[in-house]
């Protein structure tokens, strides 16, 4: 279990990138890949911004953005799973990690309010 959330969010984004690199190139995959790579990377980027927030209100807002990106990543991963049901062993753990990140972010937000 990884508790350094900056590292964990980066590792999640890297895992998403590695999975996406193994998908064939076509218009559908290109669209899905662009979306999921963007949202997966934004989880960690916004978490880092939250850690440099100007105050409590700014911190909570940036954490909410990070959580929203986690929810979006889940959405795109589900669509990729639908398009590539043969890759479930690779995609389902990413969805699970995405859900864990969302729960962690929600917990931090709750405790900060």
**Number of folded domains that form the chain:** 1
User: What residues make up the domain containing 55?
Assistant: 5-112
- pLDDT at res. 3: 62
Distance between CA 20 and CA 88 in Å, rounded? 13
Whole-model pTM: value is 0.94
Q: At what angle do helices 88-112 and 27-51 cross, to 10 degrees?
A: 30
Sign of the Cα pseudo-torsion (65, 67, 71, 76, in order):
positive
The CATH number linked to 38 is 1.20.1440.60
Q: What is the pLDDT of residues 1-34, one digit of tens each?
A: 446 999 999 999 999 999 999 999 999 999 999 9
């Amino acid at each position: 279990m990884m508790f350094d959330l900056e590292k964990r969010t980066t590792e999640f984004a890297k895992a998403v990138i590695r999975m996406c690199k193994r998908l064939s190139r076509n218009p559908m995959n290109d669209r899905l890949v662009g979306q999921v790579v963007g949202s997966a990377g934004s989880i960690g980027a916004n978490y880092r911004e939250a850690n440099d927030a100007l105050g409590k209100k700014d911190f909570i807002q940036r954490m909410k953005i990070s959580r929203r990106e986690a929810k979006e990543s889940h959405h795109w991963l589900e669509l990729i799973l639908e398009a590539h049901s043969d890759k479930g062993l690779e995609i389902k753990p990413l969805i699970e990690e995405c859900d864990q990140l969302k729960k962690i972010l929600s917990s931090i937000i709750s405790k900060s309010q």
